[in-house]
Amino acid sequence: MEKRYNGKAIYQPKGKAAEYSPWACNFFTGCSNDCSYCYCKRGVLNHYWSTNPKLKKRFKDEGHAIEVFNKELDFVISNYPKIKDQGLLFSFTTDPLLSETRSLTLRCTQVANEKGIPVKILTKRADFVDVVKFLWLDTKLTAFGFTLTGFDEEEPWASPTDERIEAMRELHEMGFRTFASIEPILTPAMSRNMIEATRGYCDFYKIGLISGKGKDFYNETHLKSFYAWLSLKASDLKIYLKDSIINHLGIKREELPGHFVNSNYNIFNYE
Interatomic CA distance for residues 203 and 143, integer angstroms: 10
Q: Is 35 domain-assigned?
A: yes
Q: What is the DSSP letter of 4?
A: P
Query: Is residue 271 in a domain?
Result: no
Asked if the model's pLDDT at residue 271 lies above 80, the reply is no
pLDDT at 218: 94
For 91-109, what is the mean pLDDT?
Answer: 97
Residues sharing a CB contact under 8 Å with residue 122, sequence separation 6 or more, in sequence order: 89, 90, 91, 96, 145, 146, 147, 181
Q: What is the CATH number of the domain that holds 54?
A: 3.20.20.70
| Cα–Cα distance, 263 to 246 (Å, whole number) | 12
pLDDT of residue 41: 78
Task: Say if residue 1's pLDDT is above 70.
Answer: no
265 domain-assigned: no
Binned at pLDDT 50, 70 and 90, residue 33 comes out as: very high
Give me the half-sphere count of Cα atoms (radius 13 Å) on the Cβ side of residue 81.
1
Whether 45 shows a pLDDT value over 60: the answer reads: yes
Residue at 3 is within a domain = no
Share of residues in the chain with pLDDT > 70 (%) = 97
Looking at residue 140, its pLDDT comes to 96
What number is the average pLDDT over the span 91-113?
A: 97
Q: What is the mean pLDDT of residues 96-123?
A: 98
**Please, which pLDDT band fits residue 46 given cuts at 50, 70 and 90?**
low
Q: Do the Cβ atoms of 38 and 44 come closer than 8 Å?
A: no
Beta bridge partners of 28: 55
**Residue 209 confidence (pLDDT) above 60:** yes
pLDDT given for residue 2 in this prediction: 72
CB 108 within 8 A of CB 69: yes
Q: Indicate the pLDDT class of residue 65, thresholds 50, 70 and 90.
A: very high
Name the average pLDDT for the chain: 94
Burial of 229 (0-12, 13-18, 19+ CB in 10 A): middle
Residue 44: its pLDDT value, please? Answer: 58
Share above pLDDT 90 across residues of the chain, in percent, rounded to a whole number: 87
Q: Is residue 262 part of a domain?
A: no
Per residue in 164-194, pLDDT (tens digit) is 999 999 999 999 999 999 999 999 999 999 9
Residue 5 lies in a domain: no
Q: Residue 185's domain spans which residues?
A: 10-255
Is residue 268, in this structure, part of any structural domain at all?
no
Band (pLDDT 50/70/90 cuts) for residue 128 is: very high
The DSSP code sequence of 123-186 is ES--TTHHHHTTS---TTTEEEEEE--S-GGGSTTSPPHHHHHHHHHHHHHTT-EEEEEEEEES
pTM: 0.96
Positive or negative: CA dihedral 126, 169, 241, 192: positive
Give yes or no for a contact between 135 and 109, defined as CB atoms under 8 angstroms apart: no
Q: How many helices (H) and strands (E) does the chain have?
A: 9, 10
The pLDDT of residue 213: 80
Averaged pLDDT for residues 57-65: 97
Instruction: Note whether 121 and 90 are within 8 A (CB).
Output: yes
Q: How many domains does the chain have?
A: 1
The strand pairing partners of 178, in sequence order, are: 144
The answer to whether residue 20 scores a pLDDT higher than 80 is yes
Residue 43 in this model has a pLDDT that exceeds 70: no
Within-domain flag for 264? no
Q: Which of 215-219, 236-240, 245-249 has the lowest mean pLDDT?
A: 215-219
